[in-house]
Amino acid sequence: MALSPDSKPFIEVRGLKKKIGKQEILRGVNLDVYRGETLVLIGPSGEGKSVLLKHLIGLMKPDEGTIKIDGTSLTGLRERQLAPLRKQIGILFQNAALFDSLTLEQNVAFPLHEAGVKDQKEITDRVHEALDVVELANHKQKMPVNLSGGMRKRAGIARAIISRPACVLYDEPTSGLDPIVSDVIDQMIMRLQKRYHMTAIVVTHDMKSVFKISNRVAMLKGGVIHFLGTPDELRHCPAQDVQDFIEGKSDIEG
Ligand SMILES: Nc1ncnc2c1ncn2[C@@H]1O[C@H](COP(=O)(O)OP(=O)(O)OP(=O)(O)O)[C@@H](O)[C@H]1O
């Protein structure tokens, strides 16, 4: 996907700093994400990838720095003012976060009820469309407990896209899944990009996914974006720590 150098970023993060307790997690993150691109966020465990995602939907507030979504700054917005911006961004949490007491269909419809959609036909049609995209339309009456790990992730994706957001944030969408099911999830992320020109940020440790789905890759390390570039630039990045990371080499001597 060609990025036009003069196109405005959909998400713009500048100088983002965040401390949790005494720990400085984010130390000045700068990042632009453009409409229609899939940006994969990698980096060592505990470096703040999930914390960064939470800032993008206003679930966490920066200590310093700014975040703009489609040109609107999140700084100082109240819960009510955040709602329309949140509608533009869907999120798939690490555990898919389904409600155990609701059927798959009811889980996927939930954001529409929250958004005040009343028209039952519209709800039914949109749930069907979202479940169709993730190939779960035949399972809509199932309870979450009766879904496999991969089906739960796909259900989470259906729920993340039901409000037709411009952008979806995926927090480790393939973790704990076998390689075949992981490939199905990757295909779905790519299908959403193609079909709806959806912008995506995908946090993953799965290097195969990184090279399959990304237009650009950002590596968060030391509280900053330590590497940013195309998958090809990542492959040829001269920094030893970046190469060690993608090859899964630890710096502990064996
Ligand atoms: N609500 C919280 N309260 C206290 N500490 C937190 C909270 N959320 C995150 N942290 C801490 O912030 C740091 C970054 O966590 P985060 O989950 O963002 O890392 P990550 O890069 O996504 O890791 P992983 O790849 O293992 O999922 C960790 O040290 C974590 O313990």
- What ipTM goes with this model? 0.96
What is the CATH number for 230? 3.40.50.300
Give the model confidence (pLDDT) of 185-208 as tens digits: 899 899 989 988 999 999 999 999
Q: Is 206 in the pocket of ligand 1 (CB under 6 A)?
A: no
Structural domain harbouring 13: 7-79+200-247
Amino acid at 243: Q
pLDDT at 123: 94
pTM of the model: 0.90
Q: Confirm whether 133 is domain-assigned.
A: no
Q: Confirm whether 161 is domain-assigned.
A: no
Q: Confirm whether 125 is domain-assigned.
A: no
Q: Confirm whether 73 is domain-assigned.
A: yes
Query: How far, in Å, are 78, 115, 170, 247 from residue 57 at the CA level?
Result: 12, 16, 12, 32
Q: Confirm whether 15 is domain-assigned.
A: yes
Q: Is 49 in the pocket of ligand 1 (CB under 6 A)?
A: yes
State the distance from the centre of ligand 1 to the C-alpha of 54, rounded, in angstroms.
11
Measured distance CA(43)–CA(201) in Å, rounded: 14
pLDDT at 105: 94
Q: Confirm whether 131 is domain-assigned.
A: no
Pocket test for ligand 1, best of 20, 63, 202 (most atoms within 8 A of CB): 20
Q: Structurally, how many domains does the chain consist of? A: 1
CB atoms within 10 A of CB 22: 5
